[in-house]
Amino acid sequence: TRSGHLRLSLALLTALALTGTALATAAPTPSPPTALAVEDDGADCPVALPGSTPANPRLPDPFTRIDGSRVTSLADWRCRRAEIRELAERHVYGDKPAKPASVTGTVSRTSISVTATHQGRTASFSAGVDAPSGAGPFPAVIVVGGFGADTAAIKAAGAAVISYDPLAVGREGTPRSSKQGAFYTLHGASSPTGLLAAWAWGASRIIDVIEQSGSATIRADGIGVTGCSRYGKSAFAVGAFDQRVALTMPIESGSAGAPAFRSIAGESGAQPLSSAYGEQPWLGDAFSAYTGNPNALPIDTHQVIGMIAPRGLLLLENPHVDWLAARAGSVASLAGAEVYKALGAADNISYWSDVQDGTHCASRSEWRGPIQDNIREHLLKSGNAPQVFRISAKKAGNLAQWRDWQTPVLTGGGEPTSTTTTTTTTTTGVTTTTT
Ligand code: MCU
């Protein structure tokens, strides 16, 4: 317990959390490194997808397997996650294929080139590099798209910026029947895979090249990703589909990003699912079956958050623009945080929508601290980012309305790590601590 803070009972804390007002939690113990050396560690798991699943108006239970049994141990999570990944590919994003037979390229202090070959077809793209001064190797944050990310804060924290223009990998403005860009050159213009999965595939190939190059500039074990708006949707998918990504920071991602599909459907002013599906081929073609009926989806985005767990995740949202679906974003984040809890990594997910400036993708001083704290913890592996949940009262979802499952205590985790939780309500200014 920290001095100067009130001690409150868990019941009162829960009540505070349920008010939906801003709250923040912090854990003082550094987490172990959570990124993996492989893109998909569940690739060998047997997954039998169901023919159909009953409609569910609530967020599906992340801990119940396709066969109806429940995850009980930490070791179970690896293959349960693989099920979620398969469901996300089949119903939401389309397939993100594994690394192709050949990926080559170079890494310099200014750029990364990638050439990928699959079944005789070859495509290339590149990304910019902007490293802090001094000697590397540096961790790096892949910044998807050219706006809305605080690149100065990233560099000042000690990480390089990799500028990734995903439009060379998957173009916008094409009909679904003739998609274009490096991904579709390899996998076919009529591939049902949407742009978000294609862009995620491209980011993974950049990481392949960094890994293979043994780069003196960039460390493959310190990779983060961020981006705003449609590129926030992209950052979310990049982090979900590559377990080598140690830190994911989607900004104002809106519909087809972090916000829960079921919750978007009832959120006034939020970008409708039909619009997110139709505006650009971001989502996979199969999502067309759900735009008017998200309750039929066997998963929701809280489980995509669960795919990122236990790795670093900082969700940044804007409650002032209704279109951005920040209430549904808070719902997904609160539910996704339950997966982090079950994995013993509650402090690795943070959420911040309590911002002043309503401008979409504005430069925000509020986020500089949390972004840098997370880079230090998850990419530089020095220091410990306090977990923060600051949900704007303007767009605060209520998790209790959205779930009918409880979070399991998973066995096999060893001694539970002692965690101190600090909860802050910005509306009252009261700071409380419980252990
Ligand atoms: C929030 O991301 C998108 C949004 O989904 C679109 O409807 C709108 O056109 O563009 C946003 C965006 O990418 O803004 C830069």
- In order, the DSSP letters of 115-144 are EEEETTEEEEEEEEEEPPSSS--EEEEEEE
| 126, 215, 229, 234: the active-site residue | 229
Q: Classify strands 218-228 and 138-144 as parallel, antiparallel or unpaired.
A: parallel
Please give the average per-residue pLDDT across 24-30, as a whole number. Answer: 45
Amino acid letter at 371? I
Q: Is 126 a catalytic residue?
A: no
Please give the average per-residue pLDDT across 394-423, as a whole number. Answer: 77
Q: How far is CA 296 from the centre of its chain?
A: 23
Cα of 269 from ligand 1 centre, angstroms: 14
Q: Would you say residue 229 has pLDDT above 90?
A: yes
Q: Check residue 33 and give its pLDDT.
A: 58
Cα of 31 from ligand 1 centre, angstroms: 34
CB atoms within 10 A of CB 390: 19
For residue 27, give every residue at least 6 positions away whose Cβ sits within 8 Å of its Cβ, in sequence order, or none. Answer: 346, 347, 384, 386, 387, 419, 420, 421
Token pair 């490096």 is found at 182
Give the ipTM: 0.98
Q: Check residue 52 and give its pLDDT.
A: 85
Amino acid letter at 294? P
Query: CA–CA separation, 308 vs 335, rounded Å?
Result: 13
Which of the four pLDDT bands, split at 50, 70 and 90, describes residue 433? very low
Please give the average per-residue pLDDT across 396-405, as a whole number. Answer: 98
Cα of 253 from ligand 1 centre, angstroms: 8
Query: CA–CA separation, 200 vs 302, rounded Å?
Result: 18
List, edge to edge, every strand of the sheet that includes 111-118: 102-107, 111-118, 121-130, 160-164, 138-144, 218-228, 245-251, 312-316, 349-352, 389-390
Check if 230 has its Cβ closer than 6 Å to any atom of ligand 1.
yes
Distances (CA, A) of 339 to 8, 38, 405: 24, 21, 12
Cα of 259 from ligand 1 centre, angstroms: 13
Q: Check residue 346 and give its pLDDT.
A: 95
Please give the average per-residue pLDDT across 104-117, as a whole number. Answer: 98
Q: Would you say residue 414 has pLDDT above 90?
A: no
Range name among 28-42, 116-130, 372-386 with the lowest pLDDT average: 28-42
Please give the average per-residue pLDDT across 221-235, as a whole number. Answer: 98
Q: Check residue 275 and give its pLDDT.
A: 98
Which of the four pLDDT bands, split at 50, 70 and 90, describes residue 27? very low
Cβ–Cβ < 8 Å for 405, 63 = yes
Amino acid letter at 239? G
Cα of 55 from ligand 1 centre, angstroms: 29
Q: Classify strands 430-434 and 312-316 as parallel, antiparallel or unpaired.
A: unpaired
Per 3-state DSSP, the chain is made up of helix, strand and coil in percentages (nearest 5) of 35, 20, 45
CB atoms within 10 A of CB 429: 7
Dmax (CA) for the chain in angstroms is 65
Q: Tokens in use for 394?
A: 């303007």
Task: Tell which wins on pLDDT, 314 or 31.
Answer: 314
Cis bond upstream, residue 310 (ω within 30): yes
Of 175, 324, 340, nearest in space to 257 by CA: 324
Which of the four pLDDT bands, split at 50, 70 and 90, describes residue 32? low
Please give the average per-residue pLDDT across 341-367, as a whole number. Answer: 97
Cα of 229 from ligand 1 centre, angstroms: 5
Q: Is 118 a catalytic residue?
A: no
Range name among 15-19, 25-29, 92-96, 143-147 with the lowest pLDDT average: 15-19
Q: Check residue 63 and give its pLDDT.
A: 98
- Specify which residues 7 forms β-bridges with: 433
Which of the four pLDDT bands, split at 50, 70 and 90, describes residue 3? very low
Of 174, 143, 239, nearest in space to 185 by CA: 174
pLDDT above 90 covers what percent of the chain? 84
Check if 280 has its Cβ closer than 6 Å to any atom of ligand 1.
no
Given the CA of residue 231, which atom of ligand 1 is nearest to it?
Answer: 13
Q: Check residue 387 and give its pLDDT.
A: 86
Pocket perturbation via mutation, ligand 1, pick of 199, 253, 271, 301 by most ligand atoms within 8 A of CB: 271
| 5, 111, 113, 360: the active-site residue | 360
Q: Note the pLDDT tens digit of each residue in 161-207.
A: 999 999 999 999 999 999 999 999 999 999 999 999 999 999 999 99
Given the CA of residue 253, which atom of ligand 1 is nearest to it?
Answer: 1
Q: Check residue 434 and give its pLDDT.
A: 27
Q: Tokens in use for 271?
A: 């970008």
Cα of 116 from ligand 1 centre, angstroms: 29
Average pLDDT over the chain reads 89
The single-letter DSSP state of residue 360 is: T
The single-letter DSSP state of residue 408 is: -
Given the CA of residue 255, which atom of ligand 1 is nearest to it?
Answer: 5
- Specify which residues 105 forms β-bridges with: 114
Check if 255 has its Cβ closer than 6 Å to any atom of ligand 1.
yes
Q: Report the nearest-CA residue for atom 14 of ligand 1.
A: 229
Please give the average per-residue pLDDT across 336-350, as a whole number. Answer: 97
Q: Note the pLDDT tens digit of each residue in 275-305.
A: 999 999 999 999 999 999 999 999 999 999 9
Q: What is the pTM of this model?
A: 0.90
Query: CA–CA separation, 402 vs 397, rounded Å?
Result: 9
Cα of 198 from ligand 1 centre, angstroms: 18
pLDDT above 70 covers what percent of the chain? 87
Query: CA–CA separation, 99 vs 347, rounded Å?
Result: 31
The single-letter DSSP state of residue 190 is: T
Of 294, 298, 306, nearest in space to 256 by CA: 294
Q: Find the DSSP H helices in 241-313.
A: 261-264, 273-279, 301-308
Q: Would you say residue 393 has pLDDT above 50?
A: yes
Pocket perturbation via mutation, ligand 1, pick of 230, 252, 322 by most ligand atoms within 8 A of CB: 230
- In order, the DSSP letters of 52-118 are -----SSPPPTTB-TTS-B--BGGGHHHHHHHHHHHHIIIII---PPPPSEEEEEE-SSEEEEEEEE
